[in-house]
Homo-oligomer: A and B are copies of this chain.
Amino acid sequence: MTDTQALHEQMLKLGQQAQAATNQVASLTLNQRNQILTNIAQALIKQTDDILAANQLDLDQYGSTLSGPMVKRLTLTKAVLAEMADSLHSLVQLADPLAGPYENWTNQAGLKINVVTVPLGVVAMIYEARPNVTVDAASLAIKSGNTVILRGGKEAIHTNRYLVQLMRQILSDLGYNPDIIQLVTDTSHASVDELLHLRSYIDVLIPRGSAAFIDHVVTNATVPVIETGAGNTHIFVDESADFDQALNIIENAKTQKPAVCNAAEKLLIHQNIAAEFLPLVIDRLQTQDQVELRGDVASCALAPNQLTAATAADWDTEYNDLIMGVKIVDDVQDAIKWINQHTTHHSETILTENADHAQLFMREIDAAVVYQNASSRFTDGFQFGFGAEIGISTQKLHARGPMGLKALTTIKYEIFGQGQIRP
């Protein structure tokens, strides 16, 4: 058997094992599911030293080859593990996503139709070098009655192996099938491509990563996918905007955490205020916050030698860095048109005191979340009050925007008859 065949067999087996475990986890009571999460939280604290040791192996192997932000994402500490445990305890407190009340009615033929909420079945996650996602994804899947297949980045493989083994042991100790949580230990691209085609076994695949990676997944997958996270997000500063408020919001959306998908990437300014507002932006963002501003022709003309000239590619680029594209637009309609051509459908913002313009922007912008006078950094399951988040959907089917536990469920029609046949 070639390596390719061996991997294919191994991945098929993983899929079969995940599916075989679905009925068990789906039939656990809320208390039983919460018990698993509580035990995982306790183990994260109890096994802190061993987890950090596994994490150190990853850092030793890859730390020198990764960028600063990547190293930060990969690194676990006592404090990070304590936060992860806290987050599990919070998840325990959340209501059961599988509980009723269910819809039900009796149809014309006298059939009793119950619409019940059920787990999706097998949830697969592909993600990068963030070992906390390993525990988050597994615990969200279990809370919603699903089994999970995890495929983390190669940089975190020692940590992920340790964490998954720990969680599987907890399942076994409680008398459950450990295959409720499985890790893909092959970290080559080939294992990703195998996952994309496990169509008989995977009910939803949630990819996290760069826009190019998400695009690869969507273009190649035959399993159902929920696209997440790519965020070329815009802020439009309307003629009537409050300048002080606008500067605070732009600064927060751009600089508070520039590497995340809900950070702002592009700034559109109404032409009538551009001459007055642009110098304020340059002062606050470029001078104070060290943000590189890349302008269109009109904004470069307004501030000679102060802006880098943007290229065509800039308008569709998610920088995830202290860089921002700046463009002058005619009016709110022009801003809407531009944004709808360049949006990744994540989060878009209008800063305006004009309620009609806000309504128009809300209605016509094609994005999951549309803001008036607030920072797009609020696009986040916790900030929305969902208490948990498995990702932010940028597509329209099934789930849109921050996805909580409900996004990991579907419905089933249970119909009880007394011999009805169709006339």
Contact = CB atoms under 8 A, between A and B. Distances in A.
Interface of A: 22-23, 26-27, 105, 107-109, 111, 113, 120-121, 199, 203-204, 218-219, 222, 224, 226, 242, 245, 248-249, 251-253, 256, 358, 362-364, 366-375, 377-379, 383-385, 395-398, 400-401, 410-422
A401 B411 CA distance: 9
> Which of A248, A368, A412 is the most central at the interface, judged by chain B CB atoms within 10 Å of its CB?
A412
A375 B256 contact: no
Contacts of A410: 396-397, 400
A395 B224 contact: yes
B375 A421 contact: yes
A187 B204 CA distance: 32
Nearest to A222: B219
Contacts of A401: 411, 413
Contact of A362 (B384, B395, B414): B414
A91 B69 CA distance: 54
A120 B105 CA distance: 27
Contact of A417 (B222, B224, B371, B398): B371
Given A113-B384, A248-B419, A372-B415, 20 more contacts: A107-B383, A107-B385, A108-B385, A204-B396, A224-B397, A226-B397, A248-B421, A252-B421, A252-B422, A256-B422, A358-B416, A372-B416, A373-B417, A374-B417, A374-B418, A378-B415, A384-B413, A397-B397, A397-B410, A400-B411
A109 B380 CA distance: 13
Given A371-B415, A377-B421, A383-B109, A398 B397 contact: yes
Nearest to A246: B419
A362 B118 CA distance: 11
Contacts of A385: 105, 107-108
A319 to B, nearest CB: 18
A411 B385 CA distance: 17
Given A375-B421, A419-B248, A422-B377, A412 B367 contact: yes
A412 B384 contact: no
A32 B137 CA distance: 45
A349 to B, nearest CB: 9
Contacts of A226: 397
A384 B107 CA distance: 6
Nearest to A114: B362
A412 B367 CA distance: 7
Closest CB pairs A-B (n = 8):
A374-B417, A252-B421, A377-B422, A397-B398, A245-B419, A398-B398, A396-B410, A369-B413
Nearest to A219: B222
A248 B251 CA distance: 70
B362 A421 contact: no
A396 B109 contact: no
A412 B249 contact: no
19 contacts: A111-B378, A120-B397, A121-B366, A121-B396, A226-B397, A242-B419, A249-B419, A252-B422, A362-B414, A368-B413, A372-B416, A373-B417, A373-B420, A374-B419, A375-B420, A378-B415, A378-B420, A384-B413, A401-B413
A373 B414 contact: no
